[in-house]
Amino acid sequence: MIPGKPSKYRNRKTVVDGLTFDSAKEARRWSELLLLQRAGQITDLARQERINIMVNGQKVCAYVADFTYQEAGHKVVEDCKGYRTDIYRLKRKLLKAVLGVEIRET
């Protein structure tokens, strides 16, 4: 990125506890999820998990989730969204159709 030029979607990279996030919103959500994990409401918190989308044994694409965790015995895939791009919408539909995975948007 060119110094002084704003990013395409106006987000600002943010660093929290040595971890770099694509936006301040994502960094805030990470802090909230850490508190929920410490309180025992969620487990297995992870960030930037890659989920391959396979059709007929061939990899079509990959979706990188902002966060994944277990909540009440179910895996949650979460994405902090400010703007829904066409590619994101397509991958969201593929995840649902091929893997039965719903993305929780925050």
Domain ranges of the chain: 14-105
Each residue of 4-44: pLDDT tens digit?
A: 666 666 677 888 888 899 889 999 999 999 999 999 999 99
Q: Is the dihedral of CA 95, 97, 99, 102 positive or negative?
A: positive
Q: What is the pLDDT of residue 26?
A: 94
Name the residue among 70, 75, 78, 66 with its Cα closest to residue 104.
78
- Fold classification of 14-105 is Trna Endonuclease; Chain: A, domain 1 (3.40.1350)
Q: How far apart are CA 56 and CA 72, in angstroms?
A: 32
